Amino acid sequence: MKLRRVSVRAAAIVIALGVFSVSSVWAHHSFAAYEPSKQIKLSGVVTEFKWTNPHVYLQIDAQESTGGETKRWLIECASTSILNRAGWRFNLVKTGDKITVIVAPLRNGEPAALLKQMILPDGTKYGNGAAAGSATIQ
């Protein structure tokens, strides 16, 4: 009984440390350029899907869910291996597909954003790995 309690506590410590260490292990760059708390929802058509490292990029002609003009957005995703491990595939999206994304936009106002969640027309949702964070809006 006592042993089990100890191992549960050890596991809790391990998980907590794991979560805290995520931000410090991202070697390529920090995500500081993106809004830390603001998230927006964009819907539109894929104009390019670049399956590259260190980052995968989606380019979409999209409009915000709150309205406004359609703009060409650059959406930053994680690396190919992180996305593969999160359930993506190199051919998951193609030019012309209609998608919805929940993103954190750049703080400087340029039309680029960090992906939090991608929603395909059939409703399936894809995350962008632990370092990028998850969607806080729907």
Q: Which residues bind another protein (CB under 8 A)?
A: 7, 10-11, 13-15, 17-19, 21-22, 25-34, 36, 50, 52-55, 57, 74, 76, 78-86, 106-108, 110-112, 127-131
Tokens linked to 105:
């936009």
Q: How far is the CB of 123 from another protein (least distance, A)?
A: 20
Q: How far is the CB of 92 from another protein (least distance, A)?
A: 14
Residue 88's CB is within 10 A of a number of other CB atoms, namely 21
Q: Taking the alpha carbons of 11, 85, 63, 123 in that order, is the dihedral positive or negative?
A: negative
Whether omega for the bond prior to residue 54 falls within 30 degrees of 0, making it cis, is: yes
Which of residues 36 and 68 has its CB atom nearest to another protein in the complex? 36
Q: How far is the CB of 8 from another protein (least distance, A)?
A: 9
Q: How far is the CB of 130 from another protein (least distance, A)?
A: 3
Which of residues 57 and 120 has its CB atom nearest to another protein in the complex? 57
What residues are paired with 88 via a beta bridge?
A: none
Which of residues 44 and 121 has its CB atom nearest to another protein in the complex? 44
Residue 138's CB is within 10 A of a number of other CB atoms, namely 9
- Kindly give the pairing relationship between strand 112-119 and strand 67-76: parallel
How far is 86 from 128, CA to CA, in rounded Å? 7
Which of residues 14 and 121 has its CB atom nearest to another protein in the complex? 14
